[in-house]
Structure 1
């Protein structure tokens, strides 16, 4: 069935490993050639006479608690446009101050792998939220390093103020970074979590021969 998850995920279960693999291969074959321009999904594009494939999957397999084979199939598309040169289904530019890199297998499963620079940058933002320092008092090189975060910091400042304890600031930053990461996953989802997106997901399921209950 379709999982309730920020990305677009199908979960298959079976006691028969061979049957499960065959069904997964069928879904991959259907997805590779599937397009729906109403939700920006194109299976192929052509550049300089070369055909480029955009649709693929991220598979995640396990043995579940009932002892059945379980396979999650995450639908992916790597098409880029002028508006989204890193990819339509990739973290969008307003999130790049937290995460610009591709969403990989571990992140698809919900564990954020964030750039190491954030360790220092978040500590500096924590100091701002606790009132240890102010933006104006920061050395110029630190201001330049934090410039990508300034709009976000201003939002945090407006919401939470600058008189937090270290523990409060740390908890808030963890929560707010988590929200940003969730948005990264939502951007990577080919079918969005709205009525149109879920209708389009259903259209692909029907196209692939599934019956929705």
Structure 2
């Protein structure tokens, strides 16, 4: 039988939902699926990724009130605070990469001094599977920063949200689906420290960790 993780409203102590825990031994399979999605996504040019980010922005905007309610139910924040500091800030991050990802990833030509007869340039390539481990206090905004950065750069994402705010993390799967992102590009796993440790040790290519 699968283990469940229950989320509680800190204001009332009432259960507001539950998710299935990802056993540490199953994490590698999730990362393998993420790598398959990455191999497809990495072939997209920044200009081809941009429409996906634009759709993601529209979905977050359309679902903003619902997102804020989920955050409120898990953190106890006032609804206006959840909307302002998790939803609106996330829209700002997505906007930033919609407008600037192409510039960040362009080929840069430079001097190869003192080798004056040679040419030098810098190219940026997608790095691989990004593990995102996020905290409970800003359970939507903080993982969104790392997730959108990775997607804009051509990477796939496996997110492990705080076990205190799993429903806020689960939103990422729904939003990615609504935005039409390629299957497996954004995945979410749930659990405590042992699940996070398994993710870090699973062969991911980069880790974005906020916590202590």
Q: Please give the TM-score of this superposition, normalised by the length of structure 2.
A: 0.26
Structure holding more helix per residue: 2
Greater relative contact order (CA < 8 Å, ≥ 6 in sequence): 2
